[in-house]
Structure 1
Amino acid sequence: MKIDAVPEPNLATLREVFNRLRHQSGQSYDDLAEASGLSRRTLINIGTGTTHGDLRTWLILARTWSKSMDELLAPVWE
């Protein structure tokens, strides 16, 4: 029996997800930092693709934007 290969997530998509949701929310980096408690530098790094962020960061962003983790992360599998 052949097992299908598990696809790799496209983590570069996280930058696009982050930027789309930040713009939709109308939040500047400063606004988002204040609302989430995350550092402005962390948010800028995600927005520019310098880093993907960690699980804790994405959980906080999901809560800040009232989104589920599924909503935030689904695009990495497309």
Structure 2
Amino acid sequence: MSDTITSLAARLAEDTMKVMDETGEDRFFVEVGEVLGAASQSLEEAFLTEIRVRLAERKARQFVVKKLTEHRSKVKAIEKQ
């Protein structure tokens, strides 16, 4: 995949994620993908990959934060005893 497609897809994915966060429309990226697909299948594929990676990272980060929060709560409870 060309550097141009990769960089355009990454920037568009970042902007799309911002819109999704602000509007609460968690499937907005699907609409953007459809618009891209009508014009450039290559850019659509790169964009969807960028979105999936970002969504996966976000979910994994939430999991990590949750585990750390739970651990710290347990440690504090033990220290209070």
TM over 0.5: no
Q: Over alpha carbons, which structure has the higher Rg?
A: 2
Which structure is higher in helix share? 2
Which structure has more relative contact order (CA 8 Å, sep 6+)? It is: 1
Q: TM-score, normalised by structure 2?
A: 0.29
Q: TM-score, normalised by structure 1?
A: 0.30
